[in-house]
Amino acid sequence: MIGKLKGIIDSYSEDYLILDVGGVGYQVHCASRTLQALPSPGEAAVLSIETYVREDQIKLFGFRTDHEREWFRLLQTVQGVGARVALAVLGTLSPADLANAIALRDKAAVARTPGVGPKVAERIVTELKDKAPSFANVDPAVVHLAGAIDDQHAPRPVRDAISALVNLGYGQPQATAAIAAASRGAGENAETAQLIRLGLKELSK
């Protein structure tokens, strides 16, 4: 099994590159974000590799980091997500943005991926929700609140305040983060109007 390749970039295609390693050209499939971040033909590159062996072919998938490759593997543990969809997701969202989207239950962010509909996006967010927070760089309190809202366990004033901010044009993750911060300052018994006011202050910072 091939786990890493170091060589000279020979050429690019739409969804793969040819990496020259000691005179042997390896065809390596990559996400669009990965291809865009790699150097020009003729320059050196190092790629973490995921090797797929099938009866009729051997296919190599390349990643800039082991962390990105780990997300490629994680995504494919989700029902209905294969290598093609996993690469498409990583072409749309960086590993950090993907972790944040899953931690915040932001299905819309995942669904921006071409070929990923609302149902698949929901499965990705739902099935990976226990794994994403450790990779996410968002406030754990916001992750907890996002989960409570998604599971219908958040207090009514909190849900109403977030809904009000979304109706004002803020994104769900922004609204959730703002109301999480507002809740910490206002306490458990805060009313909807107070949370909205404090949430707007957070958003204006």
Q: Give residue 42's region: left, alpha or beta (phi > 0; psi -120 to 50).
A: left
Q: Which residues pair with 62 in a beta bridge?
A: 49
According to the model, what pLDDT value does residue 73 have? 92
Give the pLDDT of residue 199.
83
Within 8 A by CB and 6+ apart from 186, the residues are: 194, 195, 198
pLDDT of residue 153: 64
| Amino acid identity at 96 | A
pTM as predicted = 0.68
* Crossing angle between the packed helical segments 95-103 and 66-75, to the nearest 10 degrees: 40
Per-residue pLDDT, 138:
54
Low-confidence ranges of the chain (pLDDT < 70): 132-153, 188
- Which residue type occupies 29? H
DSSP notation for the chain:
---EEEEEEEEE-SSEEEEEETTEEEEEE--HHHHHHS--TTSEEEEEEEEEE-SS-EEEEEESSHHHHHHHHHHTTSTT--HHHHHHHHHHS-HHHHHHHHHTT-HHHHHTSTT--HHHHHHHHHHTTTTSTTT--S-HHHHHHHHHHHTT-S-HHHHHHHHHHHHTT--HHHHHHHHHHHHHHH-TT--HHHHHHHHHHHHT-
Instruction: Give the separation between CA 173 and CA 179, rounded to whole angstroms.
Output: 10
Q: What is the pLDDT of residues 9-49, one digit of tens each?
A: 999 999 999 999 999 999 999 999 999 999 999 999 999 99
Given this model, what pLDDT does residue 149 score?
Answer: 57
* Cα 23 to chain centroid, rounded: 36
Q: Position 55: which residue type? A: E
